[in-house]
C-alpha cells in the first residue's frame, strides 16, 4: 500500500513540474517586438501635422525665438564674462539655469540642424557657455520692422522631407509706420499693403514635429 501511494505521489509531483508552472501569458518574440517598434515609428513619421497642431507649435517657437532675436533675457549685472572682446551676462531666467537646459528647451520646437545653423551658428555670437556650464548672453537685440501690419498663415503641406507652411506677411507701402492692430486674417483691401511670403519647414525629429527653419515677420 505504501509503495502504491509513493508511486501516486511521484506521478503527481512530476505532473506539477511539467505542467503546473507553465505561464499562460502570451509571449512576444524579439522579432515581433522589433516589428511593433518599427510600425510605431513609421506611423509617427507618416502622420501629418494639422493646422491646429502647427499653430500650437508655432506659438511656442515664436515666443522663444522672438525673445532670442528681439526682446532679450533677464540677466545678471554682476556675473559677467569676456569672450573674444565681447561682454556676456549670465542669464537669470529660471527656465535656463545652464546652457544644457536652454538647449533642451529649444529642442521642443527646433531641430538640431536649426540650432546649429541659426541660434548657435558659428557666426552668431548671441550666446556662450560660461562658468559651470552657465548660459551667458550678449546684451542687445535688433529693432523691429515698423511697417509690419499682420500675417495670414497657410495650411500645412506635406513635402518630400516633412511638412511646410507658408505665411504671407503684410507691410504698409506708403512709407508710414503701421499704427493699427496687427491682424492674422487677410485684410479687406490687400492692395494697400506690400507682401512677403515666408515658408516654415518642419521635419520629424525624436518622434515629434520641429521647425527646421523659422522666421519673424518683423
Average pLDDT, the chain: 85
DSSP designation for 134: -
Q: Is the confidence at residue 58, as pLDDT, over 50?
A: yes
For residues 177 and 51, give the distance between their C-alpha atoms in angstroms, rounded to a whole number: 31
For residues 117 and 179, give the distance between their C-alpha atoms in angstroms, rounded to a whole number: 34
Grid cell of 8 as nine digits: 501516486
pLDDT digits (tens, 9 = 90+) for 119-171: 999 999 999 999 999 999 998 877 889 999 999 999 999 999 999 999 999 99
Band of residue 11 on the pLDDT scale cut at 50, 70, 90? very low
pLDDT digits (tens, 9 = 90+) for 36-48: 444 444 444 457 8
pLDDT digits (tens, 9 = 90+) for 181-213: 999 999 999 999 999 999 999 999 999 999 999
Close Cβ partners of 89 (under 8 Å, ≥ 6 residues apart): 75, 76, 77, 79, 80, 136, 137, 139
E strand or H helix at 87: strand 86-91
Q: What per-residue confidence (pLDDT) applies to 144? A: 87
Q: Give the pTM.
A: 0.76
pLDDT digits (tens, 9 = 90+) for 77-94: 999 999 999 999 999 999
Strand ranges, E, within 130-207:
135-138, 148-153, 157-158, 163-172, 193-205
Amino acid at each position: 500500500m505504501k509503495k502504491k501511494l509513493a508511486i501516486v505521489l511521484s506521478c503527481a509531483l512530476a505532473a506539477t513540474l511539467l505542467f503546473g508552472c507553465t505561464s499562460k501569458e502570451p509571449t512576444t518574440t524579439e522579432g515581433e517586438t522589433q516589428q511593433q517598434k518599427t510600425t510605431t515609428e513609421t506611423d509617427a513619421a507618416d502622420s501629418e501635422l494639422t493646422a491646429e497642431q502647427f499653430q500650437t507649435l508655432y506659438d511656442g517657437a515664436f515666443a522663444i525665438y522672438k525673445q532670442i532675436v528681439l526682446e532679450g533675457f533677464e540677466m545678471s549685472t554682476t556675473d559677467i564674462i569676456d569672450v573674444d572682446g565681447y561682454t556676456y551676462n549670465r542669464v537669470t531666467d529660471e527656465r535656463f539655469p545652464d546652457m544644457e537646459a536652454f538647449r533642451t528647451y529649444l529642442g521642443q520646437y527646433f531641430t538640431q540642424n536649426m540650432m546649429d545653423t541659426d541660434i548657435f551658428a558659428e557666426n552668431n555670437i548671441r550666446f556662450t557657455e560660461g562658468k559651470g556650464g552657465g548660459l551667458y548672453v550678449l546684451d542687445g537685440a535688433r529693432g523691429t520692422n515698423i511697417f509690419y501690419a499682420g500675417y495670414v498663415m497657410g495650411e500645412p503641406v506635406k513635402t518630400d522631407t516633412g511638412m511646410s507652411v507658408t505665411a504671407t506677411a503684410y507691410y504698409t507701402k506708403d512709407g508710414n509706420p503701421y499704427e493699427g492692430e496687427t491682424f492674422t486674417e487677410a485684410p479687406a483691401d490687400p492692395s494697400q499693403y506690400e507682401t512677403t511670403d515666408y515658408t516654415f519647414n518642419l521635419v520629424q525629429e525624436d518622434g515629434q514635429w520641429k521647425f527646421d527653419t523659422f522666421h519673424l515677420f518683423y
